[in-house]
Amino acid sequence: MESSIFMKKKKFTKLRSLNRKRNYMMKNIRYYSRLLIEKILWDKKSKSAIDFSAVKSILILRNEGKIGDVIVDSGVIKVLSQHGYDVDIVVTPDNCSIMQHDKNIRSIYIADKVSLNDFMKNRNHNVSSDIINQLNKNGYDLIIDPSIINTPIHRPKILNEISAKNVVGFNKNKWINHYGKSISFDYEKNHIKESYKLLLSEFGITDSPADYEINNPDETGYDVDSYISSLPQKNINVVINMFAASSERSLSLSQAKELDNRLNSLHDNITVIILDYKNELSEKSFTHAHVYNSLSLQHSIALISKSDLIISPDTSIVHISAAFRKNLIAIYKNDIHNNKLWSPGYENAVQLFTSTSKIYEDDNIINEIISSAEKKLKTYNK
């Protein structure tokens, strides 16, 4: 009887594995079929090598709207600007505020908002015809396509419409002629910053670290200073960000409340601040913590820059913390594509992985966070 049950389970497991492989194969077939159609419609007739020594003007295509990605871009933009290149960027309303105060960017072009699914799968892009015409007039020497894992379906079309002379990308299919240079990058084994080291080496730049740089307006800094001064005056400010891009990657309210209580039991001189940019939380929900209703992304950045320890499951907050080299405890789902690629990537950060697919279902993650926080807080006197 037990043997029969075991065999049935084994057969079911095998069938499930085969079904996953079949679905993955069909997904790839559909993706490459669509990309091939776009190539036929919009690709260059032939591929041409890129002379990086002749490049003066550069456009970076960041029209997917992800905040963390443009923070990562800030490092390479800074280095390119320091070496005399004119750098423009296409962003969306969701991530343009990160770039608005960046002195290293010549011009910013704002595309329409787009979901990540539409950005990757839609053959029509989100850049208006007016902006396309302006990009065309600008006549860039080089376009940088920073997409790494897959080529967005709309890329051949937008590259055709802006009359791209030269395009450099990562892990691009050899049969797409627009890409005069495709840089091979192992995203499962390397941090995202390594991709830009490879890119900069194409320009002959090997001695300039592409560290993130966020330029924030002074006014938001003053606002946050005023907020912090209104709190009980203690030596250590700990910011907890509960939210991530999806609910399954977010901390629950009960987890945040437990963190508040246990952090305050670790240290006498601590102020816990809950970063609530969604305006969903009440300060009454917490025993000790203060809820900060951020007015803008810039205010969130200023708060992080002025805090001593950040706890977050969101990679945007992780990259903001990285820009200021803040003490950080980052919580990640255990995903081979993201573990290294989008990790914090600096010494002051601790990266924790959940044992469940949903962070709020992990019964032990709070213990791990507190253990890491205890080590971080040892440097402060009680």
> Which residues are bridge partners to 110 per DSSP?
91
Closest CA to 69 of 90, 95, 42: 95
The separation between the first and the last C-alpha atoms of the chain, rounded to the nearest angstrom, is 62
Q: Tokens 């960046």 label which residue?
A: 102
Give the domains, in start order, of the chain with CATH numbers.
Answer: 52-202 (3.40.50.2000), 218-377 (3.40.50.2000)
The pLDDT tens digits along the chain (382 residues) read 555 655 556 666 777 777 777 777 888 899 999 999 999 999 999 999 999 999 999 999 999 999 999 999 999 999 999 999 999 999 999 999 999 999 999 999 999 999 999 999 999 999 999 999 999 999 999 999 999 989 999 999 999 999 999 999 999 999 999 999 999 999 999 999 999 999 999 999 999 889 999 999 999 999 999 999 999 988 899 999 999 988 888 999 999 999 999 999 988 899 999 999 888 899 999 999 999 999 999 999 999 999 999 999 999 999 999 999 999 999 998 887 778 999 999 999 999 999 998 898 999 999 999 999 999 988 776 5
Q: Looking up tokens 């560290």, which residue turns up?
A: 211
Amino acid at 169: G
Go through 179-209 and write b for each residue having 16 or more CB atoms within 10 A of its CB, e for each that does not: bbbbbebebeeebbbbbbbebbeebebeebe
Cα 84 from Cα 76, distance rounded (Å): 13
Is 290 within 8 Å of 318 (Cβ atoms)? no
| Whether 58 contacts 88, CB under 8 Å | yes
Inter-residue contact 313 to 331 (CB < 8 Å) = yes
Q: Which residues have CB under 8 Å from 88's CB, separation 6+?
A: 57, 58, 59, 60, 105, 106, 107, 108, 109, 138, 140
